[in-house]
Amino acid sequence: MRSCKTACLALFTLGMFSAAAEAQDAEKFFSGKSIAFIVASTPGGGYDAYARTLERHFSKHIPGNPSLSIQYIPGGGGMVAANTIYNLSKRDGTVLAMLASSSFLVGALGEPLAKFDNVKFTNIGNMSEETDTCSVWNSTGVNDYRDFLQKPLIVGTAGIGSNSQTFPMAMNEVLHSKFKFVQGYQGSATLRTTAMESGELQATCGIFVSTLTSQLNNLLSEGKLKVVLQMGLSRHPLFPDIPNALELAPDEKGRSAFELLFAQLALGRPIVAPPDVPKDRAEALAKAFAETMKDPDYLADAQRLKIETRWFGPDRMDRIMAQMNEAPEPVKAQVRKMLNISDPAR
């Protein structure tokens, strides 16, 4: 018994020293460093608002207090940034990214343009779970989701791989809508709403509720922009009377496809690092992220900017990405067909 106590105490003490050494190593490494913070969009949009808010508060919680420098890498509906951080960025903890959650869907489906494996990213934390929306301009004559799904509307998108294109493409397949797509509206959602106001576009999807409330609330309150449909695994509390596309699926096949599509929305504002970041640094960054999300100064800043804070840590991110990757092949095949993605097995 005595030898067991001695051995257990020794192991406990060793563990304490090991944890302390790792913390010191992370602090020593990050001290004086600058972390490149890649954002998969152009300035001015919802991703930018979240990234800048995190940037203002994150450093003081990271051991060694490194500075953060935002770098914008738009393109391909977020795919360019995802490929960049996975394949080209340093794997030492000095590069982070806020990626488009849609990138993880096309990665799980085996899209050839996705040069990454979802489950190999180093997950740091997700700033907020999201709900997506489809909106129309008031001059379209669309009054509700029924009109929206029946009329041949011109929908603006950020391009292949973005929610603004994948979601309405899926609705064309499952709900028999008649959307026609115009690509190239990358970056801020205001690019699409401005094009809608000028008559260049009639509708758009792929705008998170948090972006609507923080950046487009005036258009909503004035009745110029109207939300007619939402996407997610449930209705958002702010839009309890707006149907969720998942509810409209005509059969189990369509519902299963929508569930895979919408699973990505839980990863609304994901913060990741490249694969193979040293464990002590990854853990230090994840711990600092959690502390930032509970920081009263951060929460006050988020409230001022009207951005949501339904955050969670890397463990749940790991599970969601694994579930997307492990979805049944018939479901993946259905979603590939919806999104015009070739089968990687061929």
Q: For the chain, which domains are there?
A: 20-129+266-339 (3.40.190.150), 132-264 (3.40.190.10)
Token pair, residue 217, equals 């609330």
- Which residue positions in the chain have pLDDT lower than 50? 1-2, 7-22
> According to the model, what pLDDT value does residue 40 have?
95
**Contact present, 167 and 132 (Cβ < 8 Å):** yes
- Identify the burial level of 69 via C-beta atoms within 10 angstroms of its C-beta, where 0-12 means exposed, 13-18 middle and 19 or more buried: exposed
pTM: 0.81
The helix/strand/coil state of 323 is: helix
**Contact present, 64 and 29 (Cβ < 8 Å):** yes
pLDDT in tens, 250-301: 999 999 999 999 998 999 999 999 999 999 999 999 999 999 999 999 999 9
Q: What are phi and psi for residue 106, nearest 5 degrees?
A: -65, -30
3-state helix, strand, coil in the chain (%, to 5): 50, 15, 35
Alpha-carbon distances of 80 from 47, 197, 295, rounded to whole Å: 15, 29, 32
Supply angle C-alpha 40, 46, 50, rounded to 5: 85
Token pair, residue 175, equals 């709900």
Alpha-carbon distances of 143 from 63, 68, 195, 206, 241, rounded to whole Å: 53, 45, 20, 19, 13
Token pair, residue 241, equals 């009377």
Strands annotated E in 73-142: 95-98, 122-126, 132-137
Neighbouring C-beta atoms of residue 231, cutoff 10 Å: 26
Distance CA 245, CA 229 (A): 7
> According to the model, what pLDDT value does residue 5 have?
53
- Identify the burial level of 96 via C-beta atoms within 10 angstroms of its C-beta, where 0-12 means exposed, 13-18 middle and 19 or more buried: buried
**Contact present, 72 and 187 (Cβ < 8 Å):** no
> According to the model, what pLDDT value does residue 58 have?
98
Distance CA 311, CA 268 (A): 9
- Give the β-pairing of 34-39 and 95-98: parallel
